Structure 1
Amino acid sequence: MSSHPNASPKLHNAMWPGLVGKEEGTDHPPISLEHMLELTAAAEVDGIKFDGIDYFLFHPHTDPDASDDELKRIADLVASHNLTIGSLVAPIWPGTVGGPAMGTAEERSNFVLAVKKACRIAKIFNEHGVRQYGCIRIDTASGVEDWSKDPEANTKLIAETIKEAGKVAADSGERLAAEGEICWGSMHSWKDMLNLLEAVDMPETVGFQADLAHTYLYLLGYNAPEHALLKEGYTEEEFWAAYTEMTNALRKWTIDFHVAQNDGSVHGTGSHDKTGRHCPADDPNGKLDIVKCSQYWLEDAPSRGIKHICWDGCMFPNEMLEKQETWNSILDVMIKVRDQCGWN
């Protein structure tokens, strides 16, 4: 009998670690899509390789307004590495296509436009055959400080914007996965995330994207101390009690899942300021039992339409990202998650 008994969920690597926090003309410039694909395709553990990628729809990897022919070229490129495409990240932030989901009428319209452009790209990838599952990822593109000036009104405005984006997604046969990350207003705590999902109230179309690193900081109440479930110095027993409470509240909404590690600190650049610090999969300072924590989110995952899981580790130095052993250690922990939490 194989020591790796499960064929599902499919194992994906994210392409955005080559972009997020990267700047041209510095010692951490963007890493090309081609090189990220090469590193992903070369990773191998026990004869197992990554099945696919999750993909950020913005420059320099992709022009959100790329022609059909250019998008088909990208699809061919991904397929040439024996990889598929899963979830897509819509360019919903100011400076890309979109704008704050609680912003002006124009900004909110641009948010919906960004989802529309993502759905168009998804359709081309789907028809090509390189993409057969996954969601369109969003957040609120709104800061916590701005949101907190009028939480009730801003949450209502955000919910209305996401509902409009949800209608666009539903018309395209897509689902939207809202990223639970502490730097996005109305998604910055587990309780506020839950309130927003319930306000949108489109469970067939709009769900939650859980990331192990970011949701760990939900427990500690970063940016929302009133919703903290743990205090520093917590015991293991207290941790699992808090983790159970949080995952019980959000799991039924979870339609996209990121394997990650966190050392308990916050880090960020630009619009991603003061967000969960991703750590390497084998970081000795990591706070999480990755496999055990994944079990809490992946319980009954097929019933929620989850067909793949994705690694997420952003803002690592390029030197680390361009070492092949980095991706082998990531793939190794992804396989362990599938061995323990997967299905056939």
Structure 2
Amino acid sequence: MENNYPKLHNATWPGIVGKGPDSEPAIALDTMLEMTAAAEVDGMKFDGVDLGLFDPHYDLDTSDDGVKRLADKVAKHGLEIGSLVAPIWGGPAMGTADERKTFVEMVKKSCEIGQKLRNMGIRPNGIVRIDSASSPEAWAKDPAGNTKLIAQTWREACDVAADYGERLAAEGEICWGGMHSWKKVIETMEMVDRPGLLGFQADMSHTTLYLLGYNAPEDRVLPVDFQWGDRATFLEGLKKLTAALRPWTIDFHVAQNDGTVHGTGSHDKTGRHCLATDPNGKLDIAHDAGLWLRDESGALTKAFKHICWDGCMFANEVMTKQQTWNDILAAMIQVRKQHGWVE
């Protein structure tokens, strides 16, 4: 029998992230849903979408009717809803008291929507994603003090999430202060100390840059003289990284990376997302995903019921081609074939 878990989701926020007045126009949520629903490979399709709860795709202050309209819009395409991105960037987690209050309020509103979608039956699983909403440069002005502030804000956010039956996943990216290296991820999350409520969101592209020590040379994993093409050394480093972060991981993004950083619009440089078929891609997507989805003994962790493709900052020309999404779905199917299960 064909594996039916983890469910395969597409992210809708790449239609927004890196877009805007100083880049390309945002791609409408309706378009992202249509392209996702139309993708098909050997009779298999995407099971759902992960959503960013921010403009222009969504108004966080919408009414209950607005939440119902969102659910109906997704359901119309035969898709479910999974993880949600809380728009916390107006209030840095290590900011002023008012900014940190805003951060927690954004988490509260997102968790409330998440609970409503669960109650409607369209959201069987998933988390609410957060980050520190702070730059590594700002964090570096007072590492100990700022990490303490981030942890305090996240603890308050965890208390709110618990009220709504939600869990939070902090995204690891080199552009988020206090999360910009794998060691700092662990230090921050251990300081929060909310197991069961706070976990890690691993993105295959972003976490690859942890290996190279971007924005945190002291935490580099691969040798300074590392050359792409040395697959054995790369895998050795990746195994070390995944062993450290896997126990925290409760949400997972399948992605490709070419070993470089990239940023467009207002988005800082971070691990470049590449197309699944990019000849410069450094990851063996299906194999390397297994290091996140299986423990050191090779057993499936089943730590999450769905996986999501994230491809932020692709050109609109690329994102509006149906073949792009078919190729992405094909890569996701291979991950599930090698590391999935039947329920």
Which TM class, normalised by the smaller chain length?
Answer: over 0.9
Task: Give the number of aligned pairs.
Answer: 336
User: TM-score normalized by structure 1?
Assistant: 0.95
List gaps (5 residues or longer) in structure 1.
Answer: none
8 A contact 1:254–1:304 mirrored in 2: no
What is the CA distance between 1:209 and its match in structure 2? Answer: 0.3
Alignment partner of 2:227 out of 233, 250, 265: 233
Q: Deviations over 1:317-343 (max 9, x none)?
A: 101000000000000000000000111
TM-aligned CA distance change 1:218 to 1:261, over 3 Å: same
1:62 aligns with 2:54: no
8 A contact 1:252–1:304 mirrored in 2: no
1:197 aligns with 2:189: yes
8 A contact 2:18–2:266 mirrored in 1: no
User: TM-score normalized by structure 2?
Assistant: 0.95
1:251 aligns with 2:243: no
Alignment partner of 1:181 out of 173, 177, 187: 173
Identity among equivalent pairs (%): 62
TM-aligned CA distance change 1:325 to 1:270, over 3 Å: closer
Q: How does 1:8-87 map to 2 (within 5 A)?
A: 8-24=5-21, 28-87=24-83
SS in 1 for 2:260: strand
Name the structure 1 match of 2:335: 337
What is the CA distance between 1:126 and its match in structure 2? Answer: 1.1
8 A contact 1:100–1:142 mirrored in 2: yes
1:170 aligns with 2:162: yes
What is the CA distance between 1:168 and its match in structure 2? Answer: 0.5
8 A contact 2:19–2:264 mirrored in 1: no
Name the structure 1 match of 2:114: 122
List gaps (5 residues or longer) in structure 2.
Answer: none
CA distance in 1, matches of 2:301, 2:236: 25
8 A contact 2:129–2:170 mirrored in 1: yes
CA distance in 1, matches of 2:268, 2:28: 24
1:136 aligns with 2:133: no
CA distance in 1, matches of 2:273, 2:232: 24
TM-aligned CA distance change 1:329 to 1:149, over 3 Å: same
User: Which amino acid is the alignment partner of residue 209 of structure 1?
Assistant: Q
8 A contact 2:115–2:166 mirrored in 1: no
What is the CA distance between 1:305 and its match in structure 2? Answer: 3.8
Alignment partner of 1:112 out of 98, 101, 104: 104
